[in-house]
Structure 1
Amino acid sequence: MAQARNNIAVLPTKEPDQDLIGYCDEWVLVRAQLRVGWASQNEGRDGIPDLADRKEELERELAFHRPLTVAGACKLVSAALDILYAKERDEESLLAIGPVLEILKHVEDALSYSSDRIPGAHLA
């Protein structure tokens, strides 16, 4: 909700990595839904192709974004680790496929750019 200041509407500001964190959270949810779908294969595979497509869309977003905050960097590293863990368990799994190198490159770039900043501050 907008607040008025001197008769001028002030819109709420968006956190720097709000979209990125939202993509990461949705990505985790979609992966969990895929696991549940695979676990209950006797009920058919309805919806699984849609979830796999959404997973790929979200991974394209994750590979594209450079984090601006420590929270965003942590979410991306967590996503990369989830993909690597899935690959360690089963290289053929759909969950083992993902843009690990792109994600880690963006995080490394962001952290190296802001190595002199206080943790928790914006990275860019």
Structure 2
Amino acid sequence: MRTWKLFAVPVLAAAFFSNTSPAPAQISVNIGVAPVCPYGYYDFAPYNCAPYGYYGPEWFTGGVFIGAGPWFHGHHDFYGHVDNHFDPNHGYHGAFPNRGEHADAHLMQHHAENFHGGDFRDGRGHEGRPR
């Protein structure tokens, strides 16, 4: 009887693991809601808030940022101006607004006249020129 007990556990374990069929792979990516940033957020992870002056006026509709990265809401061929002086990947080390902070209405009112960017981005993380 003792010999039977020694073999029963490994046999049952082998039977259990051999009968399991592989489940089909399921991939679920939940990016959550877009960051709430007063002047938009960068189009690359970790999607930190961009400072005033990074995005040109064409990135805003009625004062609301059209999005970037996974939350981009512009048309497929969209390219907008950015000022890479405010990009941390290009050496910017200045102040950043906090998530949930409100935009300065006076700055946004004069945004088009004060913007000085010359580079283009497509909202999906690509630099370049409009096609």
Q: Under a length normalisation based on structure 1, what TM-score does the superposition of the two structures give?
A: 0.27
Larger radius of gyration between Structure 1 and Structure 2: 2
More helix by share: 1
Q: Under a length normalisation based on structure 2, what TM-score does the superposition of the two structures give?
A: 0.26
